Amino acid sequence: MLHIINKSPSNNSALENCLSIAASGEILLIEDAVYAATKGNAFEAKLRDAMGHLKVYVLQPDLDARGMGDRLVEGVTAVDYGGFVDLTISNNTCQSWL
């Protein structure tokens, strides 16, 4: 399953709720959720822990738009829009967390 999250973890519990439920699969962070994939943020440790059982992706254009392209947490994979499409195709189901 692909879990798509678009809200910043500092303003919304979508990512935290997803991590508490998802036992496996992939997470794609888009829009303001990309802040969770940056070094030094308050959510970095939880994201690193989750990477033991979830593959984490971030949408590179959203990361770049926020000036965070050089602060990506090690182990998180950046994808472009084509990569976003590939992730939706390669997963049988997608869940958008609001």
**How does the average pLDDT of the chain come out, rounded?**
95
The CATH topology of domain 2-97 is Hypothetical Protein Ychn; Chain: A, (3.40.1260)
Name the percent of the chain lying above pLDDT 70. Answer: 100
- Asked whether residue 98 carries a pLDDT value surpassing 90, the answer given is no
State the pLDDT at residue 91: 96
Q: How far is CA 18 from CA 61, 64, 81, in A?
A: 23, 24, 22
Query: For 6-38, how does the pLDDT look when each residue is reduced to its tens digit (9 = 90+)?
Result: 999 999 999 999 999 998 999 999 999 999 999
